[in-house]
Amino acid sequence: MIESILIILIAGFIMGKAFEKLNLPGLLGMLLAGILLGPNYLDLISSEILAISDDIRLLALILILLRAGLGLRRETLNKVGVLSLKLGSLPCLMEGFTVLLLAYYLFELGFVEAGILGFIIAAVSPAVIVPSMLKLKDRGLGKDKGIPVMILAGASIDDVFAITLISIFLGLVNGGAGGTLLSLLAIPREIIGGILFGLFVGFILTKIYQKFEMADSDRMVVLAVGALFAYVVSSYLQVAGLLAIMIAGAYLLEKHKLFAEEFSKKLKGVWSFGEIFLFVLIGSIVDVSLAISAGPLGILIITVGVFIRMLGVYISTLGSNLNPKERLFCGISYSPKATVQAAMGGVPLSMGLPGGELILALAVLSVIYTAPLGALGINFFADKLLDSESDETAELSSIE
């Protein structure tokens, strides 16, 4: 296992830096390293690492979402909250049902299987989006209208919608249509519950920091425990755990700004390790030959879905103060797939559903196709479509 960790760190670091030298996102190099090192090709990652790769990826995702939360100002969240909700719902629904219809007619999948595929494909990837938005925040791009924060929050809400609808269609496999309404009602419950539980965790952490004198290292341990607690307990409460983590971080920023800023700096250093494991291990599950088996029709379905999502983003931003360039950037930012596709793509096959192999192939294809292009698009168009922050208070500009 130690040898595999060493190989992952060396290959991920070198490939990431090599791609950055080419003015490409480093995560693309890490994904490629994972594809090559994984069991489908060179097979240099031990089975022990692969067996716990889901947990390692989740820890890395929790880390970056916590860091994102520590940079979310309450004033900005208040300004972009409604728009984030729109961006996290309508584009996902439009893309998911578009892919459902295309798969139903072009691949002749059953309605339920096409629905499962539709929302597996529709989910955006926090693993790709969150690091990209944090880099934009660091550079001050789009902060005058809170665009990075808006996209961060919207990505978490998007996954709540996608995963809930996947669960609904999986429930229909066994004829459980009666629970569909209750499942739909779970969406607002998960979002509101995630926000409230995140505030609760942030409140508890604040009280601990106020009551006990601790060294900086101990504060970091308490923060890590709080983030893991938020995620684990959220699963029992059936609320949005990833959203709760971000809200807990935002609460800490509100109540303990100095602590939060120091935590954010330290987490930025830890993330240098975390991102290597996250993207290399995502790459390790990708089988390019399986994606190729989906064929041109697979590319067509995913492409049409992404364009319909971008139309959904345009509709969602009607009435806001975003200009056409900023709207286009939001559409590009919501195109990458990776996280949910990696986690859920193989579920229909494991359940023995008709078309399970096709669903897995299209899920893998969506990662290979959209994650690199989406990351490249964010990196390339950010300077061209977003304005730089003009002053310290610019982030508080209103979004109507």
Model pLDDT for residues 92-106, shown as the tens digit of each residue: 999 999 999 999 999
- Which residues form the domain of 386? 53-396
Q: For 125, phi and psi rounded to 5 degrees? A: -110, 105
205-239 pLDDT tens trace: 999 998 998 888 899 999 999 999 999 999 899 88
Q: Which residues contact 239 (CB under 8 A, 6 or more apart)?
A: 189, 190, 192, 193, 194, 196, 197
d(CA 226, CA 272): 21
pTM to 2 decimal places: 0.81
Q: For 114, phi and psi rounded to 5 degrees? A: -65, -35
d(CA 321, CA 49): 47
> Would 264 be classed as within a structural domain?
yes
* Region 340-347 average pLDDT: 82
> Would 385 be classed as within a structural domain?
yes
> Would 323 be classed as within a structural domain?
yes
pLDDT of residue 176: 54
Give the number of domains in the chain.
1
d(CA 116, CA 371): 20
- Judged against a pLDDT cut of 80, whether residue 182 lies above it is answered with no
d(CA 226, CA 202): 8
* Region 356-366 average pLDDT: 90
Q: Which residues contact 116 (CB under 8 A, 6 or more apart)?
A: 166, 169, 170, 348, 353, 359
Q: Counting Cβ atoms within 10 Å, is residue 287 exposed (0-12), middle (13-18) or buried (19+)?
A: middle
> Would 13 be classed as within a structural domain?
no
> Would 279 be classed as within a structural domain?
yes
> Would 260 be classed as within a structural domain?
yes
d(CA 333, CA 72): 18
pLDDT of residue 10: 96
Q: For 72, phi and psi rounded to 5 degrees? A: -95, 110
> Would 246 be classed as within a structural domain?
yes
Widest distance between CA atoms in the chain: 63
Mean pLDDT rounded to a whole number for the chain: 87
Of residues 393 and 274, which shows the higher confidence score? Answer: 274
> Would 45 be classed as within a structural domain?
no
CB 239, CB 190: distance < 8 Å? yes
- Judged against a pLDDT cut of 60, whether residue 392 lies above it is answered with no
pLDDT of residue 304: 97
Q: The domain spanning residue 245 has which CATH number? A: 1.20.1530.20
